[in-house]
């Protein structure tokens, strides 16, 4: 059930008028970056709709501060609280998954998809189906439903603008006219907090240790994914959908300074890279201004102060999640969706203190094995199949946890 009133929201993309921006996942870490960039350029950007899951207080504060027109919580039980928090303000209120999709579908120049997890699939598709350009941080939408999302973007004729810093870097150095001369794409990885740890120490790492990312402050799910390197695995699948390359032309290089975010190698031996501070506001600013560039109050780097860039090969032995994601990418079909669902359950179980860090990869592998043994990894033809399989893989993972 969705609870929302439905006044129309005119698109204000007339020349010279500010671009209207909706932010799904506005109460999260990427949401913060997006709202900061928007607030820094009120002449360029204006907020349309904002969404959160349950964080009413933060959503209401952001909606009032940004002058949003529509604020939505995914959890229906939070509707009354949000209504109360926004009483006296001219902001429409909605609740429920339908209302999140409505927020995604309201006419906007750009919809930023910054929901975490598979919960972002339907809102991403809703935004595209409504004709809105999507700037996507929610990599899980591409991992689980990449073919469907890319097909909608192609139908719309507007590229998905990647917010993930690696994919944004690649987008910025990807020569569309020379796409046939691209030999490979390289994603850089920080290596996470356990980059130098041995396998046994990683397997028994504490929650606090796993939540300590060396360079970025992010939501807890992606921070744990970074520690296990599942994040880089999900990003390989994301890159496959965004750039259409097979697994053997998608490489990962550990680069602990995280200044070079991604590279594209061309047939003439050139390797083009994008560099910048590890600051998510930079890729967000790139998406919002695209195809132009605009000033943004983001962190800057001094190459002289950094002095050294180092690179290492990733180690799938110590970081088995990377191997599992590669397997899912190469097997294709629904295996990436199954991998993601199992990982979401495993990460939640680790954060709840129910399994050890090493148990994350073990659970993901066991769920993938289970579906492969039963031959239930065929490609999903539509979003209902994607969601059904997601639920079924979660149920198997929960069963194994018990
Ligand atoms: N953080 C980064 O630097 C970064 C970088 C690159 C890519 N990404 C990707 O961006 C996405 C968001 O990451 P994040 O770090 O910003 O996560 P986060 O801080 O945990 O924020 C997640 C957002 O999604 C909302 N949400 C959670 N569950 C939801 C549901 N079931 N339905 C609707 N909304 C829901 C949350 O609302 P509540 O606050 O109410 O729970 C919050 O607004 C992830 O896919 C991540 O992989 C993040």
Is residue 94 pLDDT above 90, yes or no? yes
Greater pLDDT, 215 or 47: 47
Chain centre to alpha carbon of residue 269: 31
Distance (Å) from CA 109 to ligand 1 centroid: 21
* Helices 357-373 and 230-243: angle between axes, nearest 10 degrees: 50
Give the domain range for residue 85.
Answer: 3-163
Please compute the mean of the pLDDT values over residues 124-141 and round it to a whole number: 98
Is residue 9 pLDDT above 70, yes or no? no
Over pLDDT 70: what percentage of the chain? Answer: 96
Q: Are 143 and 235 in contact (CB under 8 A)?
A: no
Q: pLDDT at position 344, please?
A: 98
Ligand 1 test: best mutation among 2, 23, 25, most atoms within 8 Å of CB?
A: 25
- The beta strand positions in 53-205, using DSSP E, are 70-73, 92-95, 110-113, 133-136, 161-162, 182-189
Is residue 387 pLDDT above 70, yes or no? yes
> Which of 117, 146, 163 is at the close of a domain?
163
Is residue 3 pLDDT above 60, yes or no? no
- pLDDT band (50, 70, 90) for residue 310: very high
Greater pLDDT, 1 or 294: 294
- pLDDT band (50, 70, 90) for residue 1: very low
Q: Which of 2-11, 84-93, 235-244 has the lowest mean pLDDT?
A: 2-11
Distance (Å) from CA 271 to ligand 1 centroid: 32
> Which of 115, 142, 163 is at the close of a domain?
163
C-beta of 162 in contact with ligand 1 (< 6 A): no
C-beta of 258 in contact with ligand 1 (< 6 A): no
- Please tell me whether the peptide bond between 291 and the residue prior to it is cis, using omega within 30 degrees of 0: yes
Alpha-carbon distance 236 to 247, whole Å? 8
Structural domain contains residue 118: yes
Structural domain contains residue 234: no
CATH number of the domain to which 391 belongs: 1.10.1740.10
Alpha-carbon distance 230 to 139, whole Å? 12
Q: pLDDT at position 10, please?
A: 42
- pLDDT band (50, 70, 90) for residue 216: confident
Torsions phi, psi of 260, nearest 5? Answer: -85, 125
Q: pLDDT at position 14, please?
A: 54
pLDDT tens string 248-289: 999 999 999 999 999 999 999 999 999 999 999 999 999 999
Sheet holding 250-254, edge to edge: 250-254, 182-189, 260-266, 271-275
C-beta of 137 in contact with ligand 1 (< 6 A): yes
Whole-number average pLDDT of the chain: 96
Q: pLDDT at position 202, please?
A: 98
> Which of 118, 140, 163 is at the close of a domain?
163
Q: Which residues, 6 or more positions from 182, have their beta carbon under 8 angstroms from its beta carbon?
A: 174, 175, 243, 245, 249, 264, 265, 266, 267
Nearest of 55, 48, 49 to residue 27 by alpha carbon: 55
Structural domain contains residue 347: yes
Q: pLDDT at position 16, please?
A: 79
Distance (Å) from CA 180 to ligand 1 centroid: 35
C-beta of 31 in contact with ligand 1 (< 6 A): yes
Is residue 132 pLDDT above 80, yes or no? yes
Structural domain contains residue 372: yes
Q: Which atom of ligand 1 is nearest to the CA of 217?
A: 3
Structural domain contains residue 343: yes
| Residue nearest ligand 1's atom 8 by CA | 137
CATH number of the domain to which 153 belongs: 3.40.50.720
C-beta of 62 in contact with ligand 1 (< 6 A): no
Is residue 13 pLDDT above 90, yes or no? no
Is residue 4 pLDDT above 80, yes or no? no
Structural domain contains residue 13: yes
How many domains does one find in the chain? 2
Nearest of 266, 256, 257, 241 to residue 186 by alpha carbon: 266
Tokens of 210: 């796993």
Q: pLDDT at position 12, please?
A: 44
C-beta of 226 in contact with ligand 1 (< 6 A): no
| Residue nearest ligand 1's atom 21 by CA | 28
Q: pLDDT at position 15, please?
A: 62
Please compute the mean of the pLDDT values over residues 281-306 and round it to a whole number: 97
Q: Which atom of ligand 1 is nearest to the CA of 100?
A: 33
- The beta strand positions in 54-132, using DSSP E, are 70-73, 92-95, 110-113
Please compute the mean of the pLDDT values over residues 76-92 and round it to a whole number: 98
Is residue 2 pLDDT above 60, yes or no? no
C-beta of 280 in contact with ligand 1 (< 6 A): yes
Structural domain contains residue 305: no
Please compute the mean of the pLDDT values over residues 32-58 and round it to a whole number: 98
- pLDDT band (50, 70, 90) for residue 214: confident
Q: Are 24 and 111 in contact (CB under 8 A)?
A: yes
């Amino acid at each position: 059930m969705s609870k929302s009133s439905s006044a129309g929201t005119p698109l204000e993309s007339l020349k010279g008028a500010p671009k209207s921006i909706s932010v799904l996942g506005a109460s999260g870490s990427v949401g913060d970056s997006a709202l900061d960039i928007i607030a820094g350029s009120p002449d360029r950007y204006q907020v349309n709709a904002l969404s959160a899951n349950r964080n009413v207080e933060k959503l209401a504060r952001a909606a009032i501060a940004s002058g949003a027109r529509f604020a939505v919580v995914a959890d229906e039980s939070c509707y009354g609280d949000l209504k109360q928090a926004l009483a006296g303000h001219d902001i429409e209120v909605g609740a429920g998954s339908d209302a999140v999709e409505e927020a995604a579908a309201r006419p906007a120049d750009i919809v930023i998809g910054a929901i975490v997890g598979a919960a972002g699939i339907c809102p991403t598709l809703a935004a595209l189906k409504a004709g809105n350009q999507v700037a996507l941080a929610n990599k899980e939408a591409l991992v689980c439903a990449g073919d469907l999302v890319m097909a909608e973007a192609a139908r719309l004729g507007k590229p998905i603008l990647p917010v993930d810093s690696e994919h944004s870097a690649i987008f910025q150095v990807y020569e569309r006219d020379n796409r046939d001369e691209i030999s490979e794409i390289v994603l850089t990885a920080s290596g996470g907090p356990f980059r130098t740890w041995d396998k046994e120490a990683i397997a028994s790492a504490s929650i606090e240790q796993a939540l300590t990312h060396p360079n970025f402050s992010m939501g807890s799910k992606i921070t744990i994914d970074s520690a296990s390197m599942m994040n880089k695995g999900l990003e390989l699948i994301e890159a496959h959908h965004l750039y259409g390359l097979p697994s053997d032309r998608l490489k990962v290089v550990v680069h602990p300074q995280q200044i070079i975010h991604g590279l594209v190698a061309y047939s003439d031996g050139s390797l083009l890279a994008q560099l910048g501070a590890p600051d998510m506001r930079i890729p967000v600013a790139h998406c919002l201004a695209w195809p132009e560039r605009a000033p943004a109050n983001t962190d800057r780097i001094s190459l002289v102060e950094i002095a050294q860039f180092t690179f290492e090969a990733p180690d799938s032995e110590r970081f088995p999640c990377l191997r599992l994601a590669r397997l899912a990418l190469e097997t294709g079909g629904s295996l990436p969706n199954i991998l993601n669902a199992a990982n979401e359950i495993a990460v939640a179980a680790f954060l709840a203190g129910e399994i050890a860090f090493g148990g994350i990869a073990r659970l993901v592998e066991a769920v993938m094995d289970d579906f492969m043994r039963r031959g239930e990894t065929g490609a999903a033809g539509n979003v209902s199949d994607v969601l059904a399989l997601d639920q079924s893989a979660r149920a198997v993972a929960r069963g194994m946890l018990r």
